[in-house]
């Protein structure tokens, strides 16, 4: 691991430390920034435990990236080599995108069966939702439009004029003819 100096004695040259210091906060991700900090602190002469605590990385991560810096320079530490497994659907993405843009699925179950038909890959509901989101699709809640039972009756209903202040007329049995009802009449003076 470079010049293994005593505690507190720098392990790297001042030029190397200057380059590390300039690059440690300007990286794309926080993970790379933490790596750069670990290598920088290691270069300053701190112990592995101190470097691990300050840079918030494991000791193994610090050792791996310090060795990479010493062997290949700054570019070896700044490369973002964190990749997950490639998706089994990656090869079929264009076909699935074309299929779903032409006939969008109404449910996740429909999408799941269509993906299984096209690719042979069976996904769970959650993975299907995530894959559809990665294609740029969104789940929408739609209400069904009721069908017309009788088109002639529907047209007649549309032609009927309606009053917005319409109230239900009182049935004849409720109307009262008693003298308690007040009426206003204009009497000639």
More confident residue, 49 or 154: 49
Whole-Å CA distances, 17 to 43, 44, 175 = 7, 8, 99
Using H for helix, E for strand and C for coil, what is the string for 10-66? CCCCHHHHHHHHHHCCCCCCHHHHHHHHHHHHHHHCCCHHHHHHHHCCCHHHHHHHH
pLDDT in tens, 100-122: 999 999 899 999 999 999 999 99
Tell me 72's DSSP state: H
Mean pLDDT score of the chain: 82
Rg (CA), the chain: 38
Q: Give tens-digit pLDDT for 162-171.
A: 666 656 666 6
Q: How many CB atoms lie within 10 A of CB 108?
A: 17
Structure pTM? 0.46
pLDDT band at 3 (very low <50, low <70, confident <90, very high): very low
Determine the pLDDT at residue 148.
61
Q: Where are the domains of the chain?
A: 14-78, 90-134
Do 45 and 10 meet the contact criterion of CB atoms below 8 Å apart? Answer: yes
- Token pair in block for residue 28: 């794309």
């Amino acid at each position: 691991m470079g010049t293994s100096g005593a505690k507190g004695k720098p392990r790297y040259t001042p030029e190397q430390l200057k380059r590390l210091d300039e690059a440690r906060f300007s990286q794309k991700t926080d993970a790379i920034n933490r790596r750069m900090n670990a290598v920088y602190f290691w270069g300053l002469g701190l112990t592995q435990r101190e470097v691990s605590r300050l840079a918030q990385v494991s000791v193994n991560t610090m050792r791996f990236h310090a060795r990479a810096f010493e062997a290949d320079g700054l570019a070896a530490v700044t490369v973002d080599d964190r990749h997950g497994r490639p998706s089994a659907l990656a090869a079929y993405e264009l076909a699935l995108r074309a299929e779903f843009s032409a006939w969008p699925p109404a449910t996740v179950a429909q999408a799941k069966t269509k993906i299984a038909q096209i690719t042979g890959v069976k996904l769970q509901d959650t993975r299907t939702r995530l894959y559809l989101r990665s294609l740029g699709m969104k789940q929408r809640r739609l209400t069904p439009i009721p069908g017309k039972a009788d088109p002639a009756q529907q047209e007649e209903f549309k032609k009927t004029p309606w009053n917005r202040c319409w109230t239900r007329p009182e049935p004849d049995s409720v109307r009262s003819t008693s003298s308690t009802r007040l009426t206003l009449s204009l009497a000639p003076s």
